[in-house]
């Protein structure tokens, strides 16, 4: 497997990924920011072709480069089927897979931060038949879960996020967590500066992720919600092409 993590701190804090099968020379890019040239350069340097570009959700904190990158390289632009943007896209649903040679991305619908949010459970068949890591976007991050009021009702989002968290907690402890943001992002307020973790570590040390009672979880997520980021609604609308 080929895996590259790109960490941004300006103009927004975000993590994006290029991953795929080196043997077959095909890859996907997940949650790209506006500087799409670096993903093209990385793929070219690795001798890989980008066949999928995935946004885990319609972002409200920064402009996505996903659709632009997909058009530039002739890849499928992937979003959850419920996203309903104002442009054509490759719709996926719970349980769908994106195949990249020996690398398999399984779609998990993990709403809460936004209704359409997905995570990607990644298996490298040359390494093992079991999943290796999960790309969690802004659902599960190191030290926190994503805020729930940027795309709808805070309480409805919190209840959806509780059930998404339970699904992720059902994964085995050794599975690595590769999130879409880290400390400094407006999408969580207890985020670590370390941009990777494991399900087991988050289960033990992430206060929000550890809560097992739904009502207690909702109260926790609705307490002390920080101010809405400037232009959040406008950014999300633009990412949706509306």
pLDDT in tens, 187-230: 787 899 999 999 999 999 999 999 999 999 999 999 988 888 88
Q: Mean per-residue pLDDT for 58-70?
A: 96
pLDDT of amino acid 226: 82
Query: What mean pLDDT do residues 104-133 have?
Result: 97
Q: How confident is the model at residue 112 (pLDDT cuts 50, 70, 90)?
A: very high
Looking at the domain covering 2-226, what would its CATH class be?
alpha beta
* C-alpha dihedral sign at 149, 151, 155, 157: negative
Detail the DSSP E strand segments found in the chain.
2-8, 14-21, 26-30, 49-54, 76-80, 90-92, 97-100, 103-109, 118-124, 133-137, 140-141, 144-145, 176-179, 197-198
Q: What average pLDDT does this structure show over 93-117?
A: 98
- Residue 176 in this model has a pLDDT that exceeds 90: yes
- Would you state the pLDDT for residue 227? 84
Name the band, by pLDDT with cuts 50, 70 and 90, for residue 184.
confident
- Upstream peptide bond of 11 is cis (omega within 30 degrees of 0): yes
């Amino acid at each position: 497997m080929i895996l590259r993590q790109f960490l941004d701190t300006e103009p927004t804090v975000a993590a994006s990924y290029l991953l795929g099968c080196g043997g077959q020379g095909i890859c996907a890019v997940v949650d790209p920011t506006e500087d799409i040239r670096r993903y093209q350069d990385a793929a070219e340097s690795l001798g890989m072709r980008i066949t999928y570009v995935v946004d885990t959700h319609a972002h409200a904190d920064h402009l996505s480069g996903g659709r632009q990158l997909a058009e530039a390289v002739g890849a499928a632009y992937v979003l959850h089927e419920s996203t309903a943007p104002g442009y054509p896209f490759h719709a996926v649903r719970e349980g769908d897979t994106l195949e990249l040679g020996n690398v398999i991305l399984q779609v998990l619908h993990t709403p809460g931060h936004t209704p359409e949010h997905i995570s990607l459970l990644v298996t490298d068949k040359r390494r093992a038949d079991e999943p290796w890591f999960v790309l969690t976007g802004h659902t599960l991050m190191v030290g926190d879960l994503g805020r729930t009021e940027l795309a709808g009702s805070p309480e409805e989002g919190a209840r959806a996020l509780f059930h998404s968290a339970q699904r992720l907690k059902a994964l085995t402890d050794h599975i690595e967590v590769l999130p879409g943001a880290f400390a400094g992002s407006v999408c969580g307020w207890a985020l670590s500066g370390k941009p990777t973790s494991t399900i087991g570590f988050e289960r033990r040390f992430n206060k929000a992720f550890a809560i097992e009672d739904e009502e207690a979880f909702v109260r926790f997520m609705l307490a002390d919600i920080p101010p809405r980021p400037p232009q959040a609604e406008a950014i999300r609308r633009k990412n949706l092409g509306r």
